[in-house]
Amino acid sequence: MPPLAIDGGPPVRTAPFPPRQPFGDREIELVTQALRSQNLFGPSGTMVPELERRFADTYGVRHAVASTSGTAAIHVAIGALNPDPGDEIIVPPITDAGSVLPILFQQAVPVFPEVDETHNLDPASVEAAITPRTRAILAVHLSGNPCHLDALCDIARRHGIALIEDCSQAHLTRYHDRICGTLGRIGCFSFQQSKHMTTGDGGMTITDDDELADRMSRFRDKGWTRKPGARRYPFLGLNYRMTELQGAVGLAQLEKLPAVVQARHDLGEQLSAAIADVPGILPSPVTPGGWHTYWHYGLRVVEGDAARFAEALRAEGIPCGHGYIGKPIFLCMESLAERTTFGSSSHPLDGCHGGRQIAYDDQLCPRTHHLLQQMLVLTIHEHFAPADVADMATAIRKVAEALIP
């Protein structure tokens, strides 16, 4: 191998990788239809209801409720469950703040178990974290790799709590013969710009539970019943209504989704196979029984300095990040780490409703701390060609052979 580019050698790649271009003529056609209708208000439009219907059909469920973001989709789910103040919701320490904020805004307490080798919730740690105040498990299928859903479904069933699947990074991801988002009581999806399907921002919450679906639909519409006569708002809700513009783009994106996830799966599997024998590297994990859809490609450097490895890989022309979110999410969020939530209070973390008071500090989830320090994140998407992935593999091997003893 020639010297590393970081040491003055020639890089593996000098050409930029192809940009992702998710939108085309079909989106323009449907957005134009929405604009010409002279109505962009979702509740009285046609695009949003049609997107909800087709999304539900795609996932084989009875109900899909559209909203403004993945964060909103999760808030819709938790709002539908209606936890009491001080109740606990289990959530992984490797996720976006969008998975945690709805818990706090519903006055519940986030509880963080450890992750395991899948980068997802460790079922044994989840079981140990359950208390009489636990109301739900929010399982995040990180980067498109499914959680241990058999185990999590069993835990939820035995303890009589809800399992919510956060599929923001896992559209059409499969676990055995089921689609992720359909094994738990509720599934949540993000349509943010980087996701497998995108409306720029947007979200969807799905369920087979008729009562939950009714509450979800009203929660995203300020709690409004929308029946004739005097207005009635039976419970607190928020305005998370999707517009017809988002619905139009979503319909076009949903048509493309199977091909998008298949392409990402194939490219991710190509990269894993190409670096499987590279010493000191663990390719992106695939949970047993799972079918990964690679929102991004997360590998681990288990020997040597992962930060130095990422720097060397970037010098070889391969965009790469070290540590993903950097620290467990509870240390990234000052509202948790510093206990600064509403006004000058730390509610609902203050135990005033009998809930647990948890120290969200660097002693919590040590295994997660260690895993994040080993993690590298590489971009991969449906517009890459096999030759692009081959360059990524070549660079990973080159850097590993130079830096890992």
* Domain boundaries along the sequence of the chain: 25-254
pLDDT at 340 exceeding the cut of 80 = yes
Residue 268 exposure: Cα atoms within 13 Å on the Cβ side:
28
Token pair, residue 214, equals: 């009714």
The pLDDT value recorded for residue 122 is 98
Q: Are the beta carbons of 345 and 398 closer than 8 angstroms?
A: no
- Whether 60 shows a pLDDT value over 90: the answer reads yes
263-308: per-residue pLDDT in tens? Answer: 999 999 999 999 999 999 999 999 999 999 999 999 999 999 999 9
The pLDDT assigned to 394 comes to 98
Predicted confidence at residue 109, as pLDDT, reads: 98
Structure confidence at residue 5 as a pLDDT band (50, 70, 90): very high
Res. 355 pLDDT band, cuts 50 70 90: confident
- The residues near 156 (Cβ < 8 Å, ≥ 6 apart) are 137, 162, 163, 184, 185
The average pLDDT across 36-59 equals: 98
pLDDT (average), residues 63-86? 98
Per-residue DSSP letter, 171? T
Please tell me the CATH code under which domain 25-254 is placed: 3.40.640.10
**Alpha-carbon Rg for the chain in angstroms:** 22
Coil vs helix vs strand at 290: strand
The percentage of residues in the chain with a pLDDT greater than 90, rounded to a whole number, is 98
- Cα–Cα distance, 25 to 140 (Å, whole number): 33
Q: Are strands 162-166 and 186-190 parallel, antiparallel or unpaired?
A: parallel
Q: Is the pLDDT confidence value at 391 over 80?
A: yes
pLDDT mean across residues, the chain: 97
CA distance 290 to 277: 21
For residue 171, give the nearest of 185, 153, 186, 191 by alpha carbon.
191
24-35 pLDDT, tens digit per residue, is: 999 999 999 999
Instruction: For residue 86, report the phi and psi dihedrals to the nearest 5 degrees.
Output: 90, -10
pLDDT score of 405 = 83
pLDDT of the residue at 329: 98
| Core vs surface per residue 368-391: b (16+ CB within 10 A) or e | beebbbbbbbbbbbbebeeebbeb
- pTM of model > 0.95: yes
